[in-house]
Amino acid sequence: MRRQIIFLLVLSTIALSWAQQRDQAVYVPEKSFYGRPDTILTLDFSRFQHPQRIEDYQPLFHFSPIPQDTTNTCWAFAATSLLESELHRLGRGDIPLSRMHTVYWEYVEKVRRFVQKQGHSLVAPGSQINAVFLRMIKYGAVPADVYTGLIGDQKALDERKMLRELRAYLNYVKEKEVWYEDQVIANTRMILNRYMGPPPEQFTFEGKTFTPLTFSHKVLNLPLNDYVSLISFKKYPFWTRNTYPVPDNWWDDHGYYNVPLDDFYRGLKDAIQKGYSISIAGDVSEPGKYGKVDLAVVPTFDIPASFIDQDSREFRFDNRTSRDDHGVHLVGYKRFADADWFLIKDSAASAWKGAVKGYFFFNGDYIRLKILCYTVHKDAIPEVMQKFAD
């Protein structure tokens, strides 16, 4: 029996290697009915006709992709990239913005709520796209080169040590019931400052001195209250505002616009064609999303495209095979080989494994099935907003 198991494991390894060499996505179940992986599923991407170059699109303005390194701050990268594109669309200039300035203050606000809720609020690196707008409203923004979140000669972002220390401190706060907000936030900032550096109180931009708030108001002047986030969940009444039921919605925001899947997808597709870029969030832990070929598609062994509907989408969320894993920036659209293909700017490491560094090509079926939320300027989706107004 032991020899049989060893043989099966060796065979699985050989099959896995063979499939990867042929640029095929591979899915190996964690365990089978017998307690071991005995089935290997592969997806041959060559059967999909798809764009292969950024030049195949006419992408909206955006700065080149930036890796998020060893952090879980995709939400900040995706939303900040959206706002950089919005600055260009609105004629406010082409200004790279700091992601980590927002991340710093997001940790502060998470800890604040942790104290207010006496430990019953999540403090973790993930968050939502709309958190960036909230933090900018309260704390302002700074150019990317003013605050990098890197200390000394550090070249890449890495939040692991900081998180371990912050979690240890918050465990102490909860155990000893130290519910003194100012004290806990001050100690939290000491930890953040040690690993990220203190955010600037003022800085110089184009020869003038600003605070983060005056820079946000006088230079950027973004309409931060005009961005809306859409979801599509059958569990809530459609055409109502409700919560996005994922852990990274840590402050339990109930401001999400819940619409049917057809309106959800139509709004996204119309927005990009009108010249509005979009931050999207959803499940990327899928065999059909494969960095080596820059693609995200629905695997042939998953579900036929004609079966993707409100219920198949909801089923995957309810059984946790669709989760809110990642946020990215949608910057282009193209109809290719009778299918919708979206150009995605991505900060995750997987986006640098293929030929087109920092990007993915998302098939429309993948978005309909696996993208759970998106954020866009409200003027991009007037039909949706009018239905809520009515």
Per-residue confidence (pLDDT) for residue 5, from 0 to 100: 34
Q: Distance between CA atoms of 100 and 108, rounded to whole angstroms?
A: 13
Task: List, as one string, the DSSP characters of 7-44.
Answer: HHHHHHHHHHHHHHHTTEEEE--S--TTSS----EEEE
User: Helices then strands (H, E): number in the chain?
Assistant: 11, 14
> Over pLDDT 90: what percentage of the chain?
85
Per-residue confidence (pLDDT) for residue 254, from 0 to 100: 97
Backbone angles phi, psi at 44, to 5 degrees: -90, 110
Per-residue confidence (pLDDT) for residue 25, from 0 to 100: 59
Q: Please give the model's pTM, rounded to 2 decimal places.
A: 0.91
The domain 224-389 is placed in CATH, from the list 3.90.70.10, 2.160.10.10, 2.30.42.10, 3.40.50.10420, at 3.90.70.10
The bridge status of strand 256-258 relative to strand 227-231 is parallel
Q: Is the pLDDT of residue 94 over 70?
A: yes
95, 368 contact by CB (below 8 A) = no
236, 242 contact by CB (below 8 A) = yes
Q: Is the pLDDT of residue 19 over 80?
A: no
Residue with tokens 């930890």: 191
Mean pLDDT of all residues in 206-225: 98
The HSE-up count of residue 182 (CA atoms within 13 Å, CB side) is 0
Q: Distance between CA atoms of 56 and 54, rounded to whole angstroms?
A: 5
Q: Where in the chain is the domain with CATH 3.90.70.10?
A: 95-220, 224-389
> Over pLDDT 70: what percentage of the chain?
90
Q: Is the pLDDT of residue 119 over 80?
A: yes
Q: Please tell me the CATH superfamily of domain 95-220, with its number.
A: Cysteine proteinases (3.90.70.10)
Mean pLDDT of all residues in 75-101: 98
Mean pLDDT of all residues in 199-216: 98
Per-residue confidence (pLDDT) for residue 23, from 0 to 100: 56
Amino acid at 322: S
Between CA 185 and CA 211, with CA 183 as vertex, the angle to 5 degrees is 45
Q: Is the pLDDT of residue 41 over 90?
A: no
- Res. 34 pLDDT band, cuts 50 70 90: low
Per-residue confidence (pLDDT) for residue 9, from 0 to 100: 38
Higher model confidence: residue 9 or residue 205? 205
pLDDT one-digit tens code per residue, 266-323:
999 999 999 999 999 999 988 899 999 999 999 988 999 999 999 999 999 999 999 9
